[in-house]
Amino acid sequence: KGNIIDIFDLTGFVRTAPRFSASIALNFPELDVLQTLEQLNIDVSNLTSTFGIHNAGISGSIGFCMKSFEDMQVSVMFDDLHASVLGNQLELTQPAYIRADLNSKSVTLNQLELKYRDSVLKLSGNANADGDISFDLNGEIDAAIARSFVDSVNNASGLLGVSVSARGNMFNNNTF
């Protein structure tokens, strides 16, 4: 148990009987993303100025669980995410969970749902080390957001429906 560079709280255990298992969790409650990136000497000034990001915070944990050498998993749980982007709040609407199975060499994202103004986007899917992917992005985007990215859009209102799926193999050029 302890604290790592004033960012993560560390907890863990190792059990040897009746069967070996180990678990480690790095918790990051109310992490100031911009300040942390600055402490790590990662320059995000272009990103923050382009999107007008003034604050960004996240809470969650990173876990490692090993029940045997054949059963090892890494998980990331985002309990909260919030940022001021282009003058509006970007928020996580529900906890998001990412799991990596080290033995099957696969990653699964169980629905990341973000809200921005009246927009809600949902991302879910999975991928593996063989290059197989299956991802879905669905939701609605506030049409006024388009003004920030497309110069020819002056007056836009309402919601734009979004539905994008990516399936196939990243190593096969003909699958997307």
Per-run averaged pLDDT (10 residues), the chain, 176 residues? 60 80 88 87 89 90 86 91 88 93 91 90 94 94 71 75 91 66
Q: Rg of the chain's alpha carbons, rounded to an integer? A: 20
Predicted TM-score (pTM) of the model is 0.73
What is the predicted pLDDT for the residue at 172?
81
Which of 35, 79, 40, 31 has the alpha carbon at shortest distance from 54?
A: 35
Q: Which residues contact 19 (CB under 8 A, 6 or more apart)?
A: 67, 68
The whole-angstrom separation of Cα 55 and Cα 52 is 9
Please identify which residue in the block is written with the tokens 């985002």: 78
